[in-house]
Structure 1
């Protein structure tokens, strides 16, 4: 048995620390968003990009890329995940793989291992997310559509912290070794994206 996993890359952040759209910053000559897209596509095939700017990334992504319109831009990744889960059909998708656009070091082999293990999780384990010394790493995590009611309740009560929400829901903690932790490095400042 295999699981159906859909990757959704969030490309709607304000990029305040970066000072410009981080999706377009080059890393080793390739825009950050395209690097993440290519790795996700190689691992699961089914990839969408969620952004409030539908046309901005057409030149750097495959011509047939699937775009999702961010209905509440600026509200943060937890609200974006709520929309993605709301629009996902549990009959078609077993897991949503949520990804930030600023992960230039993703390793397809490691990620394939994570995806392959998803079918081993019991149905009451609603999320599978890496956990580092700094806390949860939700923007390379996996979420079942069935977690939507708990997420909606958390947001309705004013919750916006991914860290607090993940502590509350039935989860699988993906442990990180040195290679996995290095893979989840995220690029927030312009000088970091200088591997051109």
Structure 2
């Protein structure tokens, strides 16, 4: 099986309003959430980027090998952030990650990555899906999805839930341990 061409992009551009403070720097078992996500991403792929309007804020948390991309339209949400990164990244797939997923497991993610080469070229995204809906901030997006995403955004679309139903998307079943792995931290009680 061919290894897919993939880069990870971690998003750290939200306002963390529900948390009341920057969740990327909050610790889970003594390690900042952002660093936990970075470490899993670096275990799975060669290229890891951070998209944020505050690159200097996270420099001491991340190794120098993590490339920081300045967010060009902060505050417009993760769908617009994905649109920004699809263009400059050369790899076929972008693995989009929230900075608040402390329980990611490289072993599980690697099984998802191993599926990518077997997907038909028409499939533009491979994203976990639970009963509640898509889990887009641990999803894989083909570079060629940028045209469909740009069209959707131009119509005023900002919802991953809607966009992923409009494009050919492979669903990764989310149940049991996988649901726990995708737990994200939005409020203090989530920690």
TM-score when normalising by structure 2: 0.97
| 1:66 equivalent in structure 2 | 67
Deviations along 1:167-193, one digit per CA (max 9) or x if unpaired, are: 000110111231111100001112433
| 1:173 equivalent in structure 2 | 171
Displacement of 1:46 in angstroms is 1.2
Structure 2: 5+ residue stretches without partners: none
Deviations along 1:68-93, one digit per CA (max 9) or x if unpaired, are: 1100000000000000012223xxx1
Which SS does the other structure have where 2:150 is aligned?
helix
Equivalent residues of 2:7, 2:89 under 8 A apart: no
Give the length in aligned residue pairs. Answer: 190
Q: How does 1:12-27 map to 2 (within 5 A)?
A: 12-27=13-28
Structure 1: 5+ residue stretches without partners: none
RMSD of Structure 2 on Structure 1 (CA): 0.9
Deviations along 1:101-145, one digit per CA (max 9) or x if unpaired, are: 000010111000000111110100010000011100000000001
- Which of 93, 98, 121 is residue 100 of structure 1 equivalent to? 98
| 2:126 equivalent in structure 1 | 128
Runs of 4+ in structure 1 over 3 Å off: none
TM-score when normalising by structure 1: 0.95
Displacement of 1:2 in angstroms is 1.4
- Which of 158, 165, 187 is residue 185 of structure 2 equivalent to? 187
How far apart in 2 are the matches of 1:106 and 1:182?
A: 9
Deviations along 1:10-69, one digit per CA (max 9) or x if unpaired, are: 000110100010000010000000000000000112100000001000111113320011
Moved more, 19-28 or 58-67: 58-67
